[in-house]
C-alpha cells in the first residue's frame, strides 16, 4: 500500500472513530455530519468523499462491531447463550461502581431490591 492509500485509510479510521464517539455521546439523530467533519478537521464535502451519507458511516460502524463480536465469539468456548449473558452483564456493570454489592456464594450481585437478582 503506498503512502497516499495509507493516509486515506488513516483518515477514514479517524472519521469512524469521531463518528462513533459522537454517536455515543449525542445519539445518531442529534449528530450532524458537520459535527463529525469538525471533529476531524475536514470540510463537510471531503467527509462525503469517504462516506456518502451519515447512514453509510453508521452502517460501517455496525458492520465493524458485528464482525468483531462474531470473531470474538468464534474463539470463545462458551455456548452462545452464555456468551451473550456474560457480555450483557459486563456492559450493564460498567457503571456499577457506585452500586452497593452483596456477596453470595462467590457471585457479586447489585442491591436491586430483589433477592438474588443477578444485576452485576
Q: What is the pLDDT of residues 42-99, one digit of tens each?
A: 999 999 999 999 999 999 998 888 887 666 656 667 676 776 777 677 766 654 544 4
CB 39 within 8 A of CB 18: yes
Question: Can you tell me the distance from the alpha carbon of 89 to that of 119, in angstroms, rounded to the nearest whole number?
Answer: 7
Q: pTM for the whole thing?
A: 0.59
Give residue for cell 469512524: 16
Amino acid at each position: 500500500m503506498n503512502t497516499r492509500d495509507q493516509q486515506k485509510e488513516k483518515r477514514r479510521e479517524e472519521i469512524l472513530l469521531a463518528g462513533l464517539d459522537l454517536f455515543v455521546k449525542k445519539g445518531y439523530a442529534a449528530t450532524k455530519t458537520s459535527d463529525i467533519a469538525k471533529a476531524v478537521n475536514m470540510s463537510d464535502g471531503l467527509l462525503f468523499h469517504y462516506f456518502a451519507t451519515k447512514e453509510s458511516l453508521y452502517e460501517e460502524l455496525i458492520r465493524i462491531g458485528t464482525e468483531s463480536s462474531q470473531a470474538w465469539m468464534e474463539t470463545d468456548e462458551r455456548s452462545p447463550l452464555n456468551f451473550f449473558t456474560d457480555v450483557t452483564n459486563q456492559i450493564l456493570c460498567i457503571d456499577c461502581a457506585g452500586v452497593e454489592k452483596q456477596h453470595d456464594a462467590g457471585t457479586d450481585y447489585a442491591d436491586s431490591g430483589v433477592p438474588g437478582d443477578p444485576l452485576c
